[in-house]
Amino acid sequence: MPDTALAIKTESLGRIYKIRGGKKSEPKERVALADVNLEIQRGEFFGLLGPNGAGKTTLIKILVTLLAPTSGRALVAGYDAAKQPHEVRPRINMVSGGESSGYGLLTVRENLWMFAQFYGLDNKTAYARIDELLEIVGLADRANTKTSDLSTGLRQKMNIVRGFITDPEVIFLDEPTLGLDVSASRDIRRFIRQWMTDRPGRTVLLTTHYMAEADELCDRVAIINAGRVLACDTPEVLKKRLQRDAIFKLEVSPLRNGASGVFQTLPGVRKFVHNPQDGKSELDLILEADDALSGVVAALTSHNAHILNLQKREPTLEDVFVELVGMSMTEAERASE
């Protein structure tokens, strides 16, 4: 009998990709995941947070039976995803951001019916659930619109319906709001929260690089970078790591290249992130205490940088990421390229 107490469990999970170059070159290896150990409870809304290239999608691919791990194992609903994919598949579903699933010639309702058939839903149940879900996500008036005529946001709502139509025990949402406008993202988040409330035993694994989304939705969050899980806890506990620190956001006139190194070494500065913007520089600072700010201001003055805006704020998951990785999410993405 499978151990079904946990929705997801990974044990020392690893994945290495072999990358082939030219014909004569030896294949290179890229570590996408290394020693990932996670336990996700049934009914939990769990977030995987990390920059592009961190290994989030690789982890999801292993869990949904699309990819075999090179080491360790992954259990989903109590079944080994690599060895028992036919037990895992009826219990899961997946929605990815920016996916263009289905056929443009079919209407929204027809596409959803088709995918429902692939999961064995009879016509009556399929149509009843399609109609209910379309109504809930506000897509009922587009049920008979060809999919090719939908906007990106509406298409993603259809994808969300596709994922939930089968009432999966575990649903994997891989950047589900990627590229959507604020309103469409909000609708999708609202729907997912409602589904979790209505179906308490169901589990969501969300990957996102939107920190606010993870903070808003998730019971627990794992921060992942370069294939490794760096921290895993509730957003509140993760942010408490920084509660003793003073966190400031500054906007200053453009800083010269190379000036950043000076700030990192100032007394009391724990982390310093410089985001060059159009006509200004944004600085994220994690300081040991408020009084360390005077040193930063003095250093800015000596670099002829004028302060345009200064804001002290509560720690966010982005700050936790900076604390753990030593760079912002954007910088980590650049570094992985």
Partner 1 sequence: MTTITSLTTPVQPDRGWRLFLRTILARAYPRLIGQQREKAWIFFETFLPFLATIGYIYVYRAIQAPEDYIGFAVIGGAMTAFWLNIMWLMASQLYWEKESGNLPLFIIAPNSLMAILLGMAVGGLLATCLRALIIVGLGAWLFSIPFAISSFLQLFLVFMLTMAALYGLGMLLASLFLLFGRDAHQIVQLLQEPVYFVSGFYFPIKSFGFVVASAASLLPLTLGLDAMRQLTFASGPALGFLSVEIEIGALLVLSVVFIAAAKYWLDLVERKAIEEGTLTDRRR
Q: For binding to partner 1 (CB under 8 A), which residues are involved?
A: 15, 17-18, 58, 61, 64-68, 82, 85-86, 89-90, 92-94, 96, 99-103, 105-106, 110, 113-115, 117-122, 125, 128-129, 132-133, 135-136, 138, 164, 166-167, 194-195, 198
Q: Rounded to the nearest whole angstrom, what is the least distance from the CB of residue 92 to partner 1 in the complex? A: 7
Identify whether the C-beta of residue 270 lies closer than 8 Å to the C-beta of residue 323: yes
Which pairs count as long-range contacts for 232-240, CB under 8 Å and 24+ apart, including other chains? Answer: 232/38, 235/317, 238/317, 238/320, 239/314, 239/315, 239/316, 239/317, 239/319, 239/320
The minimum distance between CB 125 and partner 1, in angstroms, equals: 6
Nearer to partner 1, 149 or 290 (CB): 149
Phi, psi of 275 (to 5 degrees): -115, 100
Q: How far is the CB of 238 from partner 1 (least distance, A)?
A: 30
Sheet holding 280-287, edge to edge: 269-277, 280-287, 246-252, 307-313
In the complex, the smallest distance separating the C-beta of residue 40 from partner 1, rounded to whole angstroms, is: 18
CB of 162 to partner 1, least distance (A): 8
Query: For residues 127 and 231, which CB has a smaller minimum distance to partner 1 in the complex?
Result: 127
Q: Let me know: does 30 contact 70? Beta carbons within 8 Å.
A: no
Give 228-247 as a 3 state SS string: EEEEEECHHHHHHCCCCCEE
Q: Following DSSP, what letter does each residue of 69-81 receive, concatenated?
A: -SEEEEEETTEET
Q: How far apart are CA 54 and CA 71, in angstroms?
A: 18
- Measured from the CB of residue 81, what is the shortest distance to partner 1 in angstroms? 10
Is 65 or 328 the residue whose CB approaches partner 1 more closely?
65
- Cβ closest to partner 1, residue 129 vs residue 271: 129
